[in-house]
Every structure is written in structure tokens, then in C-alpha cells.
Amino acid sequence: MEASEGKSKKQGASRLCCLCNQRRPVLKRPKTLQQICKECFYEVFEEEIHQVIVKNHLFKSGERVAIGASGGKDSTVLAYVLSELNRRHSYGLDLFLLSIDEGITGYRDDSLETVKRNELQYGLPLQILSYKDLYGWTMDDIVKMIGLKNNCTFCGVFRRQALDRGAALLKVDKLVTGHNADDIAETVLLNILRGDIARLSRCTSITTGEDGPIPRCKPFKYTYEKEIVIYPSLLNHFLKLDYFSTECIYSPNAYRGFAREFIKDLERLRPRAILDIIKSGEDFRIATTTKMPEQGTCERCGYISSQKWCKACVLLDGLNRGLPKMGIGRARGGVNGDHQKETKKPASAARSLESKQCGSLDF
């Protein structure tokens, strides 16, 4: 009888949250496989992000910070959590929402409606910039011209510059994006597969662009995508987080997707694999004999560039001349409209450009 009671008590104890030992667990945490309750999940999820912010000195009191907002899960959770931590821990930040309208009918137009609702829900000012206004092209226009192959190269290059331009308009000190641990692990793997030493040396940095117009920070660097999905699903019992969950209609066969599936398979076998890949990326040492690109400014638009023309200007010039693929597989000899003979890039360089796409971020 006593043995039976002892066994019953042991089973009862095993059904309690492994962190607080008070409440029943409601989930197995993807990152650690711990059986924890809802309240403890909120606490550890938010506290880990806070510790990342503090330990890496991401912000200073009084700074103006733009949140790259798409209306998707990553950026929506980032906006909510950063707003909460700013209030709770008195970071002293002025927060803004910054969205880019790529001009994708049935995708971005719908997600921007979500961002507009987030503006009201969080009480954060919103700035929206469009490809049409900045470049004279929408992604719908570009895809009509070039098809689905390589379209993500255009979108990724244009969006990166558009975010910097939007941040400049808002006069912010920092730009934060919703890149999560899965995204960064994917990028490490992709850069290894491409042999892209320049990007491999900086892709795990939690803050990038410190030598550019506006530094970018990734508070979700160590946050698993699965946990970002779980967070609003549990929180919605108390406060509905409004986000858009449809994938971009132009990137079903994007190269990054194959790396994503591979990492998901690794995660199923060993959840720690995502953090281990990031750690490996952090520990890479680039040989001192490796020549890295020297940063300068684009002679055409003034944007940061390691070439005479930035990649956005090269791509845009190709579009305007009716030769969109020129900016993907060809190198430019002349600038400012004085075109010299174009030389063919090595196949590896061309493949690298062709494989670049918008990434797993949801904006």
C-alpha cells in the first residue's frame, strides 16, 4: 500500500511544471524539451530575450528604434515583446514600426492591413515605404518581366536598402529585425554551401551595419521559431496578437527553403542543433590572408557599397534597360550610364547571386 502511494505521489510530481513545481505543464519547450506551464513559458521566453538585449548592449536609453514590421509572426511578436520589455525594464526607447510594401498583390497588401492594426494596438507610429515610390517598380512588375526564377534576389536587395531609407526618414538610431535562431542557422549553412566568406564572417553577429547608415539588431538571435509560434497562441487567451501567416507567393522554390528543411530535420533529431550551428558560426575564424570587400559608397545613389554601384542600382539599371538578368549574372564595367564591355562572372559567383533570396524573415 505504501509503495503504491509513493508511486502515485511520484507520478503526481512528474506532472508538475519542471520550473515552478506548482502548476501542470501545458507544453514541452522546443528549445530544451522541458515540460513547463504556460506562465513559466511566458517568463522564460521574455526573460531570455531581455538577457540577450542587456548582455549584448543592444540599446541605450533615449534611442529611437525602428522595428521592421511585416505583419507576420516574427515581427509582430518582436513588436509586442520589445514594447513590453521597454516598459517593464525602463529601457527608455522611442519605438516605431517600419514596413516595406514590395507591391505583391494578395500578399503584402493584406499583411500591411495587419501592421496598421498593430499600430493602433501597440500605440506605435508607423512608416510605410513602397518599392513603387522608391524604385518605380513593384515586385508584381518585376516578376512579370523576369518570371519566378531569381525574383527573390531583386526583392532582398531592394528591401534591405528600403529599410535603411525608411529608418533614415524616421531618424532612428537602431533598426531591429525579427531574425530568429532558425534564420541565422540557415544563413550559416547557406554561406558555407556557397563558400561566401564575406557573409560567413558576419552572419551570426547580433548587431550588423555599424559601419553603415544605421545599425541593425537581432533580439531574437537565440529564440527558436517554434517558440515564437507558441508564444502568441498561448498569449491569445489573454491578449490577441494579430498577425498574418501566409508565405510569400513568389518564393515557393527559394534556395533557402532547402536549408530550412534540412535544419528542421536536424532539430527533430536534436533540438540543440540550431544553437550549435549558430555557435559554430560564431567561432569561425577567417584566415588573415582572405581579402574582404572594402566598404565604400555607391557613386550613383550614395548607399553603402563595396563596388562603384551598389547592387540595388545595378539591378534597377538592368530593369530600366529591359535587361533584368544583367544585374544577376553579369559584372558592370562602367558607371553613371557610361557602360563599358560587360565581363562574365565566374560560375560560382553567378550561382551565389542566383541562390540569394528574401530569406526566412517574414517581412
DSSP H helices, the chain, are 2-14, 38-55, 73-88, 108-122, 131-135, 139-146, 151-170, 181-194, 197-200, 225-235, 255-269, 273-283, 311-320, 326-329, 347-355
CA distance linking residue 317 with residue 337, whole number of Å: 9
Q: Length of the chain, please? A: 363
Of 262, 261, 181, the residue nearest 227 (C-alpha): 181
Residue 79: all three cell numbers together: 513588436
Tell whether 196 is in a known binding site: no
Tell whether 130 is in a known binding site: no
Other residues' Cβ atoms within 10 Å of the Cβ of residue 147: 11
Contacts of 305 by beta carbon, 8 Å cutoff, 6+ apart: 295, 296, 297, 298, 311
CA distance linking residue 342 with residue 332, whole number of Å: 6
Other residues' Cβ atoms within 10 Å of the Cβ of residue 51: 11
Tell whether 74 is in a known binding site: yes
CA distance linking residue 244 with residue 238, whole number of Å: 19
First-to-last CA distance in the chain? Answer: 61
Tell whether 183 is in a known binding site: yes
Tell whether 178 is in a known binding site: yes
CA distance linking residue 64 with residue 38, whole number of Å: 32
The three-class DSSP label of residue 72 is coil
Of 222, 224, 181, 180, the residue nearest 33 (C-alpha): 224
Residue 173: all three cell numbers together: 538610431
Of 167, 162, 103, 89, the residue nearest 132 (C-alpha): 103
Q: What percent of the residues of the chain are helix, what percent strand, and what percent coil, each to the nearest 5?
A: 50, 10, 40
Tell whether 109 is in a known binding site: no
| Binding site feature residues | 68-70, 74, 100, 178, 183
| Binding site feature residues for ATP | 68-70, 74, 100, 178, 183
